[in-house]
Structure 1
Amino acid sequence: MVPNNLTPPVLVRPNINGLQVLWLQELGIDRLWGKPLLPVTGGAAVVKHQAEAPARPSAYIATAKVSGGPPGQPLPATPHEPVTAQRPSRHFARVVPARPPQEEAAPTVVLRPDIGHLDWPGLRESVANCTSCSLGEHRRQAVFGEGALPSDWMFVEEAPGEQDDWHGQPFMGKAGTLFDNMLKAVQLQRETVFITPLVKCRPVANITPSKEEVASCLGFLQAQIERVQPKCIVVFGRAANLLLGSNETIDVLRAKDCFINDAHGKQIPVVVTYHPNHLMVAHADKARVWQDLQKALRIVRSC
């Protein structure tokens, strides 16, 4: 019913169709002034519709307006269909086809020879032919690393980028140019240090390597550390979390004295700093990287 300007006011039933009734009932609006919300249609059409579809709930036609009669006069219900005000049900049982039982396939384990006895060329070849994880399926070539052997300095990044994957060398492109300038700032060159990624193959879309992918390459990095024998390892960005097994932020790790153990249990100092890719966006952090390089320089000199 809606109000009007008659004196006294007369409640008039709104003109709504069956679809609108269904919408209102789904919203939880079943009654108005104690009476069901029902569509207003012609009496003959309602009776005909009721005869053709007796299974439809009669709440739609129980109080429909009869042509020529007073408003709100109910239609007589058929003896086979009682007049009830019920909400139509829209719940259908979902049939899920049964799946035949399948046996779980055993995980594929790629075996590779022990790398502890390999010389430097053999270790490089083992990295180039490694298929221990799925990253080897998408790489152009593995990035083993480059630089002096042995060396007091070792720089480790997370994984190769697109240019690194193309050339097979670490720190290429614009990030590599900035890295070269960082080395020059502390009187170093690529030829006097050793540079390598933690994960030797470029991850798809440069996403963070998984724990399995890191574990498959960790043996190569340990073998490189044993042969390079660095006095200090500078780790860039997220590689610090993967190498140190820490979830702390780069800022927290920068303020700590971090170490890793080599194959003989000897502690090697680790200096954590920002990656050159980060510095190309956050220029203000270049001053912090300079502080980190000065810290690494003091460690090398003290050893």
Structure 2
Amino acid sequence: MHDDEWDSLNSQIMTCTRCRLSESRTNAVPGEGPVPCPIMMIGEAPGEKEDQQGRPFVGRAGTVLNRFLEETGLPRDEVFITSIVKCRPPKNRDPKEDEIHSCSGHLDRQIAHIKPRVIVPMGRFAAGVIFSRFGIGGGKISEVHGKLFRGAFDGDEVMIFPVYHPAVVTHNPPLRSELAGDFARLKEMLSRINR
């Protein structure tokens, strides 16, 4: 993959006006991490802090994610982190179907460049979109989190491993142990892949 192609993609994301979210954003948030990268983590959409800084998962959910990555022995700078849509929906509402559709080409091109072995959708929303993208029958996040699914992208096998969204710790503290279990299983799975 050529650096200029990646730079061009990021530039297109930063200046994208394909949907109404571009009208209210401060910054688009393409994502960050190494390219290529064996693990790609995908959230729903940027929040207020992400919109301000142009970086993914820098708010409260990001603090939780960093902690779990650290406990898993995965430095944040060794995973690629992005979102389904690259601009913050007003008042952090769920992205709408046409907004997801408008942004889906960006995500597909990111996946093509990053060539992840494992995609980790974080939360029910990201899991639903990724399952749909890969033609996987899903279910509620409470049923699919911490389980391994297989898909294909450009002829290469990709493992899909949904987890609860890190923000769950803030909204529903008892689910912290579930999220910890998801990350423990992720660590175990990655250690098998890297052998």
Q: What's the TM-score bracket when you normalise by the shorter of the two chains?
A: 0.7 to 0.9
2:141 aligned residue: 250
Whole-Å separation in 2 of the counterparts to 1:127 and 1:146: 13
Q: Distance in 1 between matches of 2:53 and 2:150?
A: 31
Q: Which is higher, the Rg of structure 1 or of structure 2?
A: 1
Conservation of the 8 A alpha-carbon contact between 1:260 and 1:269: yes
User: Alignment partner of 1:261: what SS?
Assistant: strand
Write the distance in 2 (CA, Å) between the matches of 1:255 and 1:299: 10
Q: 1:220 aligns with which of 84, 106, 124?
A: 106
**Partner secondary structure for residue 42 of structure 2:** strand
Check whether the contact 1:152–1:229 (CA below 8 A) recurs between aligned residues: yes
Pick the structure with more helix per residue.
2
- 3-state DSSP class of the match of 2:101? helix
What is the letter of the counterpart of residue 252 of structure 1? E
Q: Give the SS at the match of 1:140.
A: coil
1:31 corresponds in structure 2 to none
With the length of structure 2 as denominator, give the TM-score of the two structures.
0.88
Letter in 2 for 1:196: T
Unaligned runs of 5+ in 1: 1-117
Instruction: Name the CA distance, whole Å, in 2 between partners of 1:215 and 1:141.
Output: 19
How big is the shift at 1:139? 0.6
Given that residues 231 and 300 in structure 1 are in contact (C-alpha distance below 8 angstroms), is that contact kept between their aligned partners in structure 2? Answer: no
Whether contact under 8 Å (2:145, 2:164) holds in the other structure is no
Tell me the equivalent position of 1:80: none
Read off the aligned partner of 2:129 and give its amino acid letter. L
Alignment of 1:85-124 (within 5 A): 119-124=5-10
Q: Deviations over 1:113-164 (max 9, x none)?
A: xxxxx71100000101111111111111100001112222211000000000
Q: Please point out which of 246, 252, 259 is paired with 2:150.
A: 259
CA distance in 1, matches of 2:171, 2:90: 22
> Paired residue for 2:179, among 284, 289, 295?
289
Identify the structure with bigger relative contact order (alpha carbons < 8 Å, sequence gap 6+): 2
Deviation at 1:221, TM superposition (A): 1.1
Task: Give the TM-score of the pair, scaled to structure 1.
Answer: 0.58
CA RMSD for the aligned pairs? 1.7
Q: What percent of counterpart residues are identical?
A: 34
How many matched pairs? 185
Letter in 2 for 1:125: S
Q: Which residue of 1 aligns with 2:87?
A: 201
Equivalent AA in structure 2 for residue 119 of structure 1:
E
Checking the alignment, whether the CA contact within 8 Å between 2:45 and 2:84 is kept in structure 1 is: yes
The answer for unaligned runs of 5 or more in structure 2 is none
Alignment map for 1:1-303 (pairs within 5 Å)? 119-237=5-123, 238-245=125-132, 248-254=139-145, 256-262=147-153, 264-303=154-193
